[in-house]
A and B are shown apart, each in its own frame.
Chain A
Amino acid sequence: MRKDRTEMSEDDDRSPPLDLRGADIAESSSKTRNCSGVTGPVAGPGPSSMEFQAPYPDQVLENVLENVLQFLSTRRDRNAASLVCKSWCRVEALTRSELFIGNCYSVSPRRATARFARVQAVAIKGRPRFADFNLMPLDWGAHFAPWVNAMAAAYPWLEKVYLKRMSVSDDDLTLLAESFPSFKELVLVCCDGFGTSGLAVIASKCRHLRVLDLIESEVSDDDVDWIACFPESETSCLESLIFDCVECPINFEALERLVVRSPSLKKLRLNRVVSIGQLYRLMVRAPQLTHIGTGSFRAPESVAQGDPEPDYTAAFAACKSLVCLSGFREILADYLPVIHPVCANLTSLNFSYANVDAEQLKSVILHCHKLQTFWVLDSICDEGLQAVAATCKDLHELRVFPIDAREDSEGPVSEVGLQAISEGCRKLQSILYFCQHMTNAAVIAMSNNCPDLEVFRLCIMGRHRPDHVTGAPMDEGFGAIVRNCKKLTRLAISGLLTDRAFSYIGKYGKLVRTLSVAFAGDSDMGLKYVLEGCPRLQKLEIRDSPFGDSALLSGLHHYYNMRFLWMSSCRLSPQGCQEIARALPRLVVEVFGGENGELHGDETVDILYMYRSLEGPREDAPGFVTILQ
């Protein structure tokens, strides 16, 4: 991991991070050097120029500090250390190796690279989450290009890049592959803008690539065989290859060869063009896998009935280390039993693409005693959830997605399933639950039964749906959640909700950092309660709720503490948003509204997206965005 010193000039003050043992030993003063040739010990790699200087006490301190700070890895600790005094700030900046940018527009690449000189890993987040639901126009921004350009110059030893909701082009990927000879890990989550030609460059040029994870990203089909671009002649150090979101066909033979020459491969998630027969071929080559995304999990059309099929069960049984299973993109449920041998060891199972019913699920889930994370479609119905509750006592995270997300569909899961889960899975920490109907009673039950809940996201898909047994608003249910779940940091609310629900959130939701609101509330008071009551609120996304300028203004004291506020289809006027912009000059207030992005006085603002920034208004805003000042 540490770059060989001989590759860098000694004048280069952007030398790689010092090895822990390289605490430059303070040269004792000349009194001790009675013998010739004694230069004083240096215990490890370090700038050789130090050997010939008498140290200043400050330098000793800074060397020691550098080594102490190596032990600090969290952002919070590093940020605190940087504020102690000037020398600590300087040393901390030199030793921070992981850089996290929560909002790519909050700071410029130039500023970030000027402060932190020796970064090896970067994480950058771009668009707000509501962009996933087509609420944000395309080409809004969050471009990786300025970042990769700045880093190419500043961080030649960069090893890891993690991007979420950014626009990444093939040119960006090419620059990345060409600029960072030590590059090891690329993780792209919910990104777009690139295609298989960009992947081809990464595969062929990043000789030390260990991780290539494409998660929920849009990858255009450039008709390029990127899998074949991994160097054929050598053993590959690949540990993780995730491409289940890539919609285009792949060269399976090349993939098979790649898997064969990747003895360190632990995570492999295939896309839906891979058949179960092909999965088999890969699994028998790589029984060491810990994470498998199965691809389609069906035989291709060309396989005739009655053709002898491989022993899939044996292949699964051979994967003794398998703990995480996903995929099942076009599952033929007949094949489901073949995974039985691994169920007892699974800690994570993702059935969110698998249209399985309750019976089919039961046959699998009854073996899954160790399951901690379970994602599933509501096709399993309440009955399926009851089976989960009966077996998965260690469940930490549950996500139930709708097969049919329309407002008026039947809804196979309900309060019955939620209640069962709350009773069976007491260690639950995170839940995302889509349904058509819910009751306060079930939500209250969960608040009492699952005290460890940190994330509670309930999506009652019908708009303004009340408790379907009592007819009451869902206020009391959500009130119980914020009151009883003392660790709650993330909340998504839905259903028929009055301002009372918001008053509960403001009163009890003191740790809430992320709040998501859709089709809820009666009046401005709702938003006021939250803005005035939740000191830790960082991310607030609101759609289709009756909050207007007065509510917006009630948050002036808090907006500089937040990462962002998103409000769409609410009751904001251009004047209201303008007032915010005037009052808080370091907030970037973006509105998208009207034909050409121009706002007229009598219009309501379609979308308001605002965030604090050290840099002022961004220069890459597209035409439809107006930045108010």
Chain B
Amino acid sequence: MSSSKSNKIVKLESSDNKTFEVEEAVAVQSETLKNMVDDGCANDTIPLPNVNGKILEMVLGWCKKHVDETVTGDELNKYEADFLDLDQADLYGLLMAANFLNVKGLLDRVLQRVADMIKGKKPEEIRRIFNIKNDFTPEEEEEIRLENAWAFD
């Protein structure tokens, strides 16, 4: 995307009804939005019921940073590293948003970050981090635990 393209504005509405206006060049960092733009579907406000305002703002901030030609390589690296320094609750929302909007680079990093949080952890610790309910019966859990330990470790 060259910056000489028309300064078309893309309007987005988050799940909690906040509106955001961004330049097309920023919006199309998201493959999802890019496809909509290319298909000519981005003329009206695009509702994003899967993404709340706080997260959407973060993602758009990322996109803006990545089209900003005044940002140096070093600054960008630092920005990306700091970006993922957030609450677990936000991280989860960000994961869903990055997945849905498919922002290049961001999705990889969030996935990696989430994976890093899982590495070396026991199952109960993972459940706590992501607030996941254990829906195994004790018998089911024991059988898988045995299978893992006896056969696949």
Residues of A that sit less than 8 Å from B by CB: 20, 23, 25-26, 28-29, 31-35, 37-38, 40-41, 43, 60, 63-64, 67-72, 74-77, 79-86, 88-89, 99-103, 106-107, 111-112, 115, 561, 612-614
A76: B residues at CB distance < 8 A: 120, 153
- Say yes or no: A26 contacts B153, CB within 8 Å: no
Residue from A25, A72, A77 in contact with B32 in the complex, judged by beta carbons closer than 8 Å: A25
A85: B residues at CB distance < 8 A: 127, 132-136
Which of B118, B136, B141 neighbours the largest number of chain A CB atoms within 10 Å of its CB? B118
- Say yes or no: B144 contacts A83, CB within 8 Å: yes
In the bound assembly, the distance between CA atoms of A31 and B146 in angstroms comes to: 47
B44: A residues at CB distance < 8 A: 34
Chain A min CB distance to B50 (Å): 6
Residue from A38, A71, A102, A111 in contact with B112 in the complex, judged by beta carbons closer than 8 Å: A71
Which of A32, A34, A63, A111 neighbours the largest number of chain B CB atoms within 10 Å of its CB? A32
Chain B min CB distance to A204 (Å): 33
Q: Name the residue on A nearest B140 (C-beta).
A: A86
- Say yes or no: A38 contacts B41, CB within 8 Å: yes
B40: CB under 8 A from chain A? yes
B60: CB under 8 A from chain A? no
Inter-chain contact total with CB atoms closer than 8 Å: 141
B118: A residues at CB distance < 8 A: 68, 72, 77, 80-81
- Say yes or no: A107 contacts B152, CB within 8 Å: yes
Residue from B32, B126, B151 in contact with A107 in the complex, judged by beta carbons closer than 8 Å: B151
Can you spell out 11 A-B residue pairs with CB atoms less than 8 angstroms apart? A31-B49, A38-B36, A43-B31, A43-B102, A67-B99, A68-B118, A81-B123, A84-B127, A85-B132, A86-B140, A99-B152
Chain B min CB distance to A22 (Å): 11
A77: B residues at CB distance < 8 A: 118-120
Residue from B31, B48, B95 in contact with A41 in the complex, judged by beta carbons closer than 8 Å: B31
B108: A residues at CB distance < 8 A: 20
Q: Name the residue on B nearest A75 (C-beta).
A: B153
- Say yes or no: B114 contacts A68, CB within 8 Å: yes
B127: A residues at CB distance < 8 A: 84-85
B122: A residues at CB distance < 8 A: 80
Given A23-B102, A32-B47, A41-B31, answer yes or no on A80-B150 (Cβ-Cβ < 8 Å).
no
A37: B residues at CB distance < 8 A: 39
B90: CB under 8 A from chain A? no
Residue from A25, A35, A112, A614 in contact with B41 in the complex, judged by beta carbons closer than 8 Å: A35
- Say yes or no: A31 contacts B47, CB within 8 Å: yes
A69: B residues at CB distance < 8 A: 115
Q: Name the residue on B nearest A69 (C-beta).
A: B115
- Say yes or no: B40 contacts A35, CB within 8 Å: yes
- Say yes or no: B31 contacts A28, CB within 8 Å: no
- Say yes or no: A84 contacts B132, CB within 8 Å: yes
Chain B min CB distance to A422 (Å): 33
B107: A residues at CB distance < 8 A: 23, 67
In the bound assembly, the distance between CA atoms of A70 and B96 in angstroms comes to: 16
In the bound assembly, the distance between CA atoms of A38 and B41 in angstroms comes to: 8
- Say yes or no: B150 contacts A84, CB within 8 Å: no
8 additional contacts, CB 8 Å, given A38-B41, A99-B152, A102-B151? A28-B50, A32-B46, A35-B40, A35-B41, A41-B36, A83-B144, A85-B127, A100-B153
B112: A residues at CB distance < 8 A: 71
B77: CB under 8 A from chain A? no
- Say yes or no: B96 contacts A83, CB within 8 Å: no
In the bound assembly, the distance between CA atoms of A34 and B99 in angstroms comes to: 22
In the bound assembly, the distance between CA atoms of A400 and B24 in angstroms comes to: 68
A99: B residues at CB distance < 8 A: 152
